[in-house]
Amino acid sequence: MDLLAGLNPEQRAAVVLPAQSALILAGAGSGKTRVLTTRIAYLISTGQVSPHGLLAVTFTNKAAKEMVTRLSAMLPINTRGMWIGTFHGLCNRLLRAHHREANLPQTFQILDSADQLSAIKRVMKAQNVDPEKFIPRDVQNFISGSKEQGLRAHEVEAYDPFTRRKVEIFAEYDAQCQREGVVDFSELLLRCYDLLSRNQSLREHYQERFKHILVDEFQDTNPLQYRWLKLLAGVGEYRSRFPHPNLPPAGEGANVSHRDAGSIFAVGDDDQSIYAFRGANVGNMQELLRDFHVENVIKLEQNYRSHGNILDAANALIANNRNRLGKNLWTAENGGEQLRVYEAPTDVEEAKFIVEEIQQLKREGVNLTEMALLYRSNAQSRVLEHALVSAGLSYRVYGGLRFFERQEIKHALAYLRLMENTDDDNALLRIINFPTRGIGARGIEQLQEAARINNTTLWDAAARAGGKVSAFVALMETLRAGTRELPLPEIMEHVLHHSGLRANYESELATPAKKREAEERLENLNELINAATLFVHENEDDSLTAFLTHATLESGEHQAGDSDDALHLMTVHSAKGLEFHTVFITGLEEGLFPHQNSVDNGEVDEERRLMYVAITRARRRLYMTFAQSRMLHGKTNYSMVSSFMRELPEPLLLWLSPRFVQRAPSFSSPSYSGPAYGGATYGKASPAPFVMPGSAPRDSGALWHVGQQVFHQKFGEGMVTDTEGSGNEGRVQVNFKRAGSKWLSLEYAKLEAI
């Protein structure tokens, strides 16, 4: 009874369930870890299972360690040896115990990502595979992605010669790993699944042993992980018709389970399923209900984290998703503050507003470490980081790198550094074979040796070399000559295009496993052009040398140590599982959040789940910000407010700026052509402005309308981008070709229609 003290009725009901499969729909901040751990303690303390007779699976070592720590505090038992861990950790343990049956040496080693890539390169070299046609990292993602779907090389359908060649590399890579007694991470789970599915006695031993299987974050399971769980529970299809050459023949009755299905206690939240790009299948929750005939579905809806208004907003938003299992978060606390909404004229002004609010919160006694800035895309962090550095605020990028420390940015800067200073050996070494141009490790070693013998820089040695090295030297000379008279942003654009950097990442868009990462890297490269544009506007010395110095200083300033009070910057994906006193959700614009790629691919439901996760990170205060215009490719592009904003109840919102009205595009040619807020199209003027619910429409009369071309005696030609008021008391915002954006009084402006 002491274990059950303090549990709410739903938590208690979940903990004391009978030994039947169950699904616990655990909302954000509803105490799911406590329920899962207490369930384990309850089963052990009531004698329903021994400490070694249950299996508990989670997704991170940190979560597994926390479960063990809590369990140790609940029960006077030795938790060492309990089967609590990650999928990979538990599969590794099982394969170690049965290495002979798995046809592995007892001391088999596990390849990390870098070691796996090296192994694949050796296979490709032995098979004379052109690494420029078959990029090794693409092959690596192909192999890992196939295994995570439960597919061996001979099971992958090769629709064309290109895929068929990758399948051949896959098969030879598997054979090489077998000869060397090593496995990669994906192989751990697949080898374990193969072993159990083909070995009846071993399978039935573990099915009988693990009467209770408990799973954390069930919504994040991929197809193979769910099949592995079904196998251990005595429900599932076995792989006898797909024999694997590295495993012994299937035993008699390999397709038959001789026991009743075990019970799975699955804890998860379909509203927080945001990892489809990693292979997670939110549909596994629906399949669990069907496959295990689940009768017990308990909803944990009481939230212990956030105030009521935050939860009401989250509930209203997620209700727009289809095929939900359904739940409604609530709290015993009060409603708290309204959600603060701010519309900025530009992304720079958005960052400035956020910094000012952070400084005010600090004065009110809120520590920086209790605040988080969330963004949909990593590229958004650059403007925010610049504003924080300028304000002297310490920050930490959680789960990622600062903008100027990211791989693709360092590659681009290395080209620029070498253009400025050919003596920069570090810059040369970074890019001499990136993108790949056939200059291998041996060639670089020879270049370094020549430079040492002649006491010269690597550039001087390269200038005297021949072959592919001389082609690289010629490329750099061409880049230098081609950018000599260009302004800084155009230098960036020229280098990104002619160096092959942009094309390198664009080529990865066709590989599903690499697409998401490639998109982020391309967004960051575009943001580098924006950084150069802003630098020119803010600094008298806008030379390339000055910009490179600026980039170096920004990458090193305000580095927060582990013990420092520092603001958290992160993508929404990285924020899952965390909570903060104050959260800023930035860049709430259509095409950015929800991301245009998701809109195009019909994945808005997952984007909405991502927004739901972002909202529920806040305990006490939540800001949502967006900008009328944002820099893209160094040019100003006008944005539409996120459609998610329309799904939030107006009474919950506190507007810190005038209500949003549709804006027209700038004179630059935007690449975005997706759907806009209110049914309009980006790049085209709407017949009437869309006004946020609850606000009064603006009217400047019939003479002037958004999208109209006008002429001003002083500022020249422009386009109306906003209107306010009526008659002579009204005013219009015009984006002029030469003078930029300006608000003009209709009484004095003397505008002429074109």
- Cite the active site residues: 32-33, 216-217, 272, 617
DSSP 329-380: -B-SS---SPEEEEEEEEHHHHHHHHHHHHHHHHHTT--GGGEEEEESSGGG
Long-range pairs, 269-272, Cβ under 8 A, ≥24: 269/25, 269/26, 269/27, 269/28, 269/32, 269/219, 270/25, 270/219, 270/324, 270/325, 271/27, 271/28, 271/318, 271/321, 271/324, 271/327, 271/609, 271/612, 272/28, 272/219, 272/576, 272/609, 272/612, 272/613
DSSP conformational letter for 659: P
CA distance 503 to 659: 41
Bond preceding residue 435 cis, omega within 30 of 0: yes
The answer to whether 101 and 202 have CB atoms below 8 angstroms apart is: yes
Q: Which two tokens stand for residue 488?
A: 């800084």
CA distance 289 to 307: 32
Tokens 């069930």 belong to which residue?
Answer: 218
Measured in whole angstroms, how far is the alpha carbon of residue 713 from the centre of its chain?
A: 49
Tokens 């490329």 belong to which residue?
Answer: 475
- Nearest in space to 450 (alpha carbons), one of 460, 440, 441, 438: 460
Q: Which two tokens stand for residue 610?
A: 């991502």
The answer to whether 93 and 110 have CB atoms below 8 angstroms apart is: no
- Nearest in space to 92 (alpha carbons), one of 188, 13, 181: 188
Exposed e or buried b per residue across 78-114, where buried means at least 16 C-beta atoms within 10 angstroms of its C-beta? eeeebbbbbbbbbbbebbeebbebbbbeeebeebeee
Q: What is the largest CA-CA distance in the chain?
A: 93
The answer to whether 298 and 243 have CB atoms below 8 angstroms apart is: no
Name the residue type at position 359: Q
For residue 155, CA distances in Å to 116, 142, 241, 242 come to 21, 13, 11, 8
Measured in whole angstroms, how far is the alpha carbon of residue 644 from the centre of its chain?
A: 19
Name the residue type at position 645: M
Q: What are phi and psi of 323, to 5 degrees?
A: 60, 35
For residue 531, CA distances in Å to 464, 548, 550, 585 come to 36, 11, 10, 21
Could you tell me which residues come within 8 angstroms of residue 81 by beta carbon, excluding any fewer than 6 positions away?
51, 52
Q: β-strands 731-736, 740-745: how paired?
A: antiparallel
Hey, which residues does 528 pair with through a beta bridge? none
Q: β-strands 752-753, 709-712: how paired?
A: antiparallel
- Nearest in space to 8 (alpha carbons), one of 203, 21, 26, 277: 26
Q: How many CB atoms lie under 10 A from the CB of residue 343?
A: 24
Q: Using only the alpha carbons of the chain, give its radius of gyration.
A: 29
> What dihedral do alpha carbons 335, 338, 339, 343 form, nearest 10°?
170
CA distance 599 to 597: 5
Measured in whole angstroms, how far is the alpha carbon of residue 617 from the centre of its chain?
A: 16
- Nearest in space to 288 (alpha carbons), one of 3, 83, 25, 627: 25
